[in-house]
Amino acid sequence: MESDGVSLWLQRQLKPLSKSVENAPPEAFSYISLAFSGGAGVLLYFAQAQYWPLAALPAALFLLLRLMSDSFVEMLCSVDHEGRTVNYLVIRLCERLSDLLPLLCFAFWDSLRIHLVLMAIVSMLLVSYIAEVSRALGAKVGSNGLLCKSNRIILLIFFCFVYLLRPNARIADYSVFEVMFALFIPLASITLLQRMDAAISQMRK
């Protein structure tokens, strides 16, 4: 599995701990990442102003733990281990569900423009889809680009903290998370073009 810059940095920080989990199956950490993402999604749903805005803080923590768990998945997949087979189908499926759950909760916010949320989610899924199709066609497209998985999570964590500090802030009549989704759409479009260009270049060689 290929990593982006943030994931590589995290893997270096977590390397001292990797010895203690080197016998664990990578799929186990994929399920852990899915659990953290699901927990973050539930907390972000209840972070609406009429419920408990402070829920954005533990949600950000869960997202950070998901980043760490994803790093363990990548480290374990990159190391040859005698007698261990890696179920990439389970890992990829957990990744896609983990991407979707924290964002899907915003579709149920009464205060957000639903079309922005759905357009951002579709844009994100297209970015992931082009990477999977490229791999299926034999192109080694890394999980990089402006809106790669790690950057998406970091962006969401950042806006969780902005929401904690200024839950009622507005920019040009857009709320905190609406600004985030408005950023997601062009960034995802650029990332899609980056990955398509990388895949086409490799398949021509």
Neighbours of 112 (CB within 10 A): 18
Is 204's pLDDT higher than 80? no
Predicted TM-score (pTM) of this structure = 0.89
| Backbone φ and ψ of 149, nearest 5° | -55, -50
Please give the full DSSP string across 34-86, using - where no structure is assigned.
HHHHHHHHHHHHTTSTTS-GGGHHHHHHHHHHHHHHHHHHHHHHHS--TT---
Helices 5-18 and 149-165: crossing angle in degrees, nearest 10, is 90
* Between 82 and 6, residue with greater pLDDT: 6
Which of the residue ranges 59-68, 144-153, 167-176, 194-203 has the most confident prediction, judged by mean pLDDT?
A: 59-68
Taking the C-alpha atoms of residue 127 and residue 113, their distance in angstroms, rounded to an integer, is 22
pLDDT at 196: 84
Is 3's pLDDT higher than 70? no
Rounded average pLDDT over 123-143: 78
Worst-scoring range by mean pLDDT, 4-8, 101-105, 164-168? 4-8
For the chain, what percent of residues have pLDDT higher than 70?
A: 92
pLDDT at 106: 94
Rounded average pLDDT over 134-144: 70
pLDDT at 4: 66
Domains and CATH numbers, the chain: 5-204 (1.20.120.1760)
The amino acid sitting at 167 is: P
Is 43's pLDDT higher than 80? yes
Taking the C-alpha atoms of residue 144 and residue 5, their distance in angstroms, rounded to an integer, is 8
What tokens were used for 52? 């408990």
Is 129's pLDDT higher than 90? no
Rounded average pLDDT over 136-165: 85
E strand or H helix at 197, and its extent?
Answer: helix 176-204
Rounded average pLDDT over 85-100: 89
